[in-house]
Amino acid sequence: MNREFEAHAGRAATPRGQSARSAIVVGAGVVGMASAYALARRGVSVTVIERRDGPGLEASFANGAQLSYAYTDALASPALLRHLPAVLLGLDPAICWRPSLDRDHIAWLMRFLRSSTANRFTANTLAGLELGLESRAAMHALIEQHDLDFGHSVAGKLHIHATRTGLDAAARIVALKRLHGADQHVLSAGEAIDLEPALADHGPFAGAVHTPGDEVGDPQRFCTAMAALLGRDYGVSLRFGTRVEDLGEAGAKAWVQTGSGERLMADNLVVCAGIGSGPLAARFGLGAALMPVKGYSFTAPEGPAGLRVSITDVSRKIVFCPLGGMVRVAGMAEIGARSTAVDPKALESLRSGARTSLPRAANYDQIGAGWAGIRPMKANSLPTIKRVSPRIAVNIGHGMLGWTFSMGSAERLATLVLEKVE
Ligand SMILES: Cc1cc2nc3c(=O)[nH]c(=O)nc-3n(C[C@H](O)[C@H](O)[C@H](O)COP(=O)(O)OP(=O)(O)OC[C@H]3O[C@@H](n4cnc5c(N)ncnc54)[C@H](O)[C@@H]3O)c2cc1C
């Protein structure tokens, strides 16, 4: 089922029959950096334009750090639909909806509801799995070839299910995903505790789904390492502190206009601007596709029961990720929230939920200022990777799994961009 993955062999030559091309990539988050790499290693001359003063400073800054290559379950699901009344009544501290009468907002919600049937949930989850497995192959090829320091490890992942009903439902989707290449197993609570002793502190739970091959890595360190690699080994030009205000095509070229009025041209333009893609892609009818879904994280020193395995507490919707002596804890989904300000009440809710779930995994008295970011979310939980005009493509809408999907999405994007345009 995996698309054949082209082996990395240094800086690949320009495909036969094509002249050297140039491309502008807008956005230096995980998706933009991976896209720049996928293009540059195929011989494209790449310029990255980023409004912030460095790479990975928005949604890719301090996310949950999980590379969940086999845990790609779509957010829109029959289970979430059943849970919707609790969400609308504000009874779930981990997920809430900021209502709006905006037409795009309502259209997105309608698409989300339509994506919540059992059939669509299954189809979206399996499509995510295919992209996840491609991403893992692309990430492994990258780190085999280049020595990148971003705290990467194959920690494996445990999804903890509090109830037997939840575990049985998870077991059904595990059985299906196994047929499509996922290495996942259902464990009893005892087996899960044997694997991760910190779970002995967790209240009673029915069992867990174990994904031994899932990985972890710090996304911001990845962006920084990639920026250095791209500039040094691939001749990529990185322009930070430069906002793209407008974009378009003129003849056989694409162009961007920056905030200072400068116009840059290239053979191709790729928009990887996370939630900032909405305004840029609006003219192509894609503005309404992205819903901002705000989340929080904090990073604390590991506690007396430090983690070996990455954990997701499914009922609390909190992830715990071991990152070299520290623990990254992430969660919360505020649908429709656009500000990245850290609300102290929301951060405290995340901290107290985490402390109740795994009391000795981290030192919860040292969580620092916390962080909030905006996931650029599509209703079907799958990114849009497509050409929107002959010279302009988008790689957007990675939602809850942008770090996981970044490398595979970039490979798909580069293949698409290098297809011959008539
Ligand atoms: C709390 C939280 C936890 C998460 N946990 C995980 C996880 O464990 N695993 C996982 O796989 N995913 C996770 N995610 C999701 C993941 O972080 C995102 O999907 C991913 O970072 C999106 O990457 P991106 O490159 O598309 O966007 P971004 O990282 O936001 O990058 C877009 C870049 O474009 C720039 N930009 C925007 N507009 C312009 C413009 N006009 N001109 C120039 N530059 C522009 C921005 O400054 C930004 O740097 C989490 C997200 C959150 C918020």
- Reading the chain (422 residues) residue by residue, the pLDDT tens digits are 333 333 333 344 344 444 469 999 999 999 999 999 999 999 999 999 999 999 999 999 999 999 999 999 999 999 999 998 898 888 888 999 988 999 999 999 999 999 999 999 999 999 999 999 999 999 999 999 999 999 999 999 999 999 999 999 999 999 999 999 999 999 999 999 999 999 999 999 999 999 999 999 999 999 999 999 999 999 999 999 999 999 999 989 999 999 999 999 999 999 999 999 999 999 898 878 999 999 999 999 999 999 999 999 999 999 999 999 999 999 999 999 999 999 999 999 999 999 999 999 999 999 999 999 999 999 999 999 999 999 999 999 999 999 999 999 999 999 999 987 64
Ligand 1 pocket mutation, candidates 24, 25, 31, 335, criterion most atoms within 8 A of CB:
31
> What is the Cα–Cα distance from 253 to 352, expressed in whole angstroms?
53
Token pair listed for 155: 């920690």
Q: DSSP string of 187-252? A: EEHHHHHHH-GGGGGS----EEEEETT-EE--HHHHHHHHHHHHHHHS--EEE-S--EEEEEEETT
How far, in Å, is the centroid of ligand 1 from the Cα of 397? 9
Domains present along the chain, CATH in parentheses: 22-418 (3.50.50.60)
CA distances from 391 to 238, 239, 247, 361, 366 (A): 21, 21, 11, 49, 49
The rounded distance, in Å, linking the Cα atoms of 170 and 172 is 5
Q: How would you classify the pairing of strands 291-301 and 326-335?
A: antiparallel
- Distant-in-sequence, close-in-space partners of 162: CB < 8 Å, separation ≥ 6: 203, 204, 205, 206, 314, 315
pLDDT at 142: 98
Structure tokens that stand for 231 in this block: 């500039």
Measure 29 CA to ligand 1 centroid, in angstroms. Answer: 6
Q: Count other C-beta atoms under 10 Å from residue 109's C-beta.
A: 17
Write down the pLDDT at residue 8: 39
Query: How far, in Å, are 42, 217, 309 from residue 155 at the CA level?
Result: 31, 10, 5
What single-letter DSSP state applies at residue 49?
A: E
Pocket test for ligand 1, best of 26, 58, 319 (most atoms within 8 A of CB): 58
**In the chain, what is the straight-line distance between the N-terminal and C-terminal CA atoms, in Å?**
29
Which residues touch 282 (CB under 8 Å, ≥6 apart)? 288
Residue 63 CA to ligand 1 centre (angstroms): 9
Indicate whether residue 25 lines ligand 1 (CB < 6 A): no
This model's pTM is above 0.85? yes
Please give the radius of gyration of the chain, using alpha carbons only, rounded to the nearest integer.
Answer: 21
Answer whether 224 contacts ligand 1 (Cβ < 6 A).
no
Between CA 134 and CA 216 the distance in angstroms is 16
Residue from 400, 409, 413 to probe ligand 1 pocket by mutation (most atoms less than 8 Å from CB): 400
